[in-house]
Structure 1
Amino acid sequence: MTATARRPFGARLAEAMDAHGPLCVGIDPHASLLADWGLPDDAEGVRRFALRVMEALAGRVAAVKPQAAFFERHGSAGVAALEEVVAVGLQTGTLVVVDAKRGDIGSTMGAYAEAYLRDGSPLAGDALTVSPYLGFGALGPAVDLARESGRGLFVLCLTSNTEGREVQHARTSDGVSVAAAVAARAAALNAGADPLGSVGLVVGATVGDDARLAGVDLAHVNGPLLAPGVGAQGAGAPELARVFGSARRQVLASSSRGVLRAGPDVSALRAAAGAAASEAAAALR
């Protein structure tokens, strides 16, 4: 990594959001999207899909977010395609959030951290999504290596799936919700960071009043809030205001289908991403 890349992820993301708008485009090569693009549902189809997205959007959006599962389902050749996405991001100065949602304990979490956060690893983008539901403290190896390498984390906090509420809204013996405890730990790691810390949260843009009901202080987190669900999944200005309130300046809106369905034409993808970035900026203003 270069000296520039070693600057804290939160600072680099804030600059990218200022330059390109608060949009992260998901790279999700679903079988149906591959078919729509006239591509085969195999590792080569995934590779061509992902690299076309990077050709269209590298250097033009705040970040891209390849969903690791759609690459992994094609085995080692699919993972190699993910490595190419990460490499193009590094070459073009485009922030890459690897959406792998890793979470484990001890040496296993350490190995995940080495794979996705260590300098020199071909899978190490600029940030990684992680799951805290084996205990936030179990993420220690990832927290330490992210800080050391200038990378970031997005920790699952309030997700849009209905099943998530039974865990995220559960209360500890002192009455604090699990989601609120996760947010508080992230806030502690971001203390003093300016303009944004490097430990963000994943908060669904369609979760409605969940932050208020769970007692989650999103503004206090002082880190980026990755918000899936913007655009094709239905979240616009009213929904974002309801979910994030005064924390809207921290939001990195995530959209995949709303942009990707414009492909495979490069100019159409660029136009769709530009429109989505403008809409996100207006919705979060």
Structure 2
Amino acid sequence: MADDEVTIERPGFGARLQAAMEAHGPLCVGIDPHPGLFDQWDLPHTPEGLERFTMSCVEAFAGTVAAVKPQSAFYEQFGSAGIAVLEKALGALREAGTLTVLDAKRGDIGSTMAAYAVAYLSDHAPLRADAVTLSPYLGYGSLRPAIDTALGTGRGVFVLALTSNPEGASVQHAGGPGASVAGGIVNAVREDNRKAARKGQLGSVGMVVGATTGSAVEHLELDLASANAPLLAPGIGAQGGTADDLRRVFGSALPHVLATSSREVLAAGPDVAALRSKALESAEGLRELLA
């Protein structure tokens, strides 16, 4: 390195997310172009309808909420035309300075996982997002290419840790209290976030923890707060998660919760102003709920 060359360390995703949550509230709005919403919004089930739906959401949420989470599957079902809409949305949100979490739940091994890392987390990928959701159930170590790429580019990941779907418990609870699969994920995330913790920053390796998982965190003896991780929390709002549920599930980790809402906010569409108003209302309600 030349004497006059300066290395500038990029701010991590966790630090950027923390700032966005402080500015806008702890809400991540999902863009889920579900067929039922196409009907509700009186849109055709076509790539053109998908683009109108998506870009209305982008217009409403950009600069309004802490993060926006497009669900990749709803775009993939339209083939290359759908992926083009997703790419356009990610680019527009990036230009607006709004953080994006691509909900793709990828999980693979070796060179395939490395390719997913390039696709979503590298600097010049057309589908790059600020963070991506990952499934660790081929072993947490299989996610290493994506985690390392994210940390190297100032991006983040959200690893599925404790989900509220009925099938999840058969895997995530296996091993029981103190030795569960979910506990192993929490421990691994803690290790990956140690550097950020030493700097007093929120880590960039987050976890997905359902807000309606009841007593599972307590039963499995999971220490969520010590992981220093952003906690992407589905289940609040239309799915019925209450303040008592949140305190029971997240405890002292409550300040790290980024709550997701899709249906409750999207039901306000298709009017852009109504969508924006509902998002602002939801974010303020969550700020009070999670205080």
> 2:21, 2:66 within 8 Å by CA — same for their partners in 1?
yes
Q: Which residue of 1 aligns with 2:58?
A: 54
Contact kept in structure 2, 1:6 and 1:151, CA below 8 Å = no
Report the 3-state secondary structure (helix = DSSP H, G, I; strand = E; otherwise coil) of the residue aligned with 1:123: coil
8 Å Cα contact 2:178/2:222 also seen in 1:
no
Equivalent residue, structure 1, for 2:268? 262
Instruction: State how 1:1-285 maps to structure 2 within 5 Å.
Output: 6-171=10-175, 176-193=179-196, 194-285=200-291
CA distance in 1, matches of 2:42, 2:16: 36
Q: Provide, for residues 202-245 of structure 1, a one-character-per-residue CA deviation record: whole Å limited to 9, x for no partner.
A: 00111111111122111011010000111011012111111111
Asked if the contact 2:150–2:157 (Cα under 8 Å) also holds between the matched residues in 1, the reply is yes
- Shift of the 251–260 alpha-carbon distance from structure 1 to 2, 3 Å rule, reads same
The one-letter code of the counterpart of 1:147 is L
Aligned equivalents of 1:252, 1:259: Cα separation in 2: 15
Q: Which amino acid aligns with 2:194?
A: A
Distance of 2:118 and 2:90 partners within structure 1: 15
Partner of 1:14, secondary structure, is helix
Structure 2 residue identity aligned to 1:260: L
- Structure 1-normalised TM-score? 0.96
User: Which is worse superposed, 37-46 or 96-105?
Assistant: 37-46
Distance in 2 separating the partners of 1:209 and 1:47: 40
The one-letter amino acid of 2:244's match is P
Report the Cα distance in structure 2 between the residues aligned to 1:67 and 1:236, rounded to whole angstroms. Answer: 24
Look up the equivalent residue of 2:268 and give its one-letter code. Answer: A
Aligned equivalents of 1:183, 1:146: Cα separation in 2: 18
Give CA-to-partner distance per residue, 1:81-123, whole Å, 9 cap, x none: 1101110111000000000000000001011111011111111
The normalised TM-score by structure 2 is 0.94
CA distance in 1 between partners of 2:52 and 2:11 (Å): 31
Q: Which has the larger radius of gyration?
A: 2
Task: Tell me the distance in 1 between the aligned counterparts of 2:174 and 2:234.
Answer: 22
Cα displacement (A) at 1:247: 0.6
Partner Cα separation in structure 1 for residue 203 and residue 272 of structure 2: 33
2-structure distance, mates of 1:213, 1:90:
40
Counterpart amino acid of residue 187 in structure 1: R
Distance 1:124 1:31 in 2: 25
| Partner secondary structure for residue 65 of structure 1 | strand
Q: Show structure 1 runs of 5+ residues with no match.
A: none
The RMSD of aligned alpha carbons is 1.6
Distance 1:44 1:188 in 2: 45
Tell me the SS of whatever aligns to 2:68.
strand
Q: Aligned partners of 2:19, 2:84: CA distance in 1, in Å?
A: 29
Gaps of 5+ in 2: 1-6
Gap change, CA 1:269 and 1:175, over 3 Å in 2: closer
Q: Which amino acid counterpart does residue 165 of structure 1 have in structure 2?
A: A
CA drift at 1:270: 1.1
Deviation, structure 1 residue 5: 11
Identical-pair percentage: 57
| Aligned 8 A contact 1:130 1:155 in 2 | yes
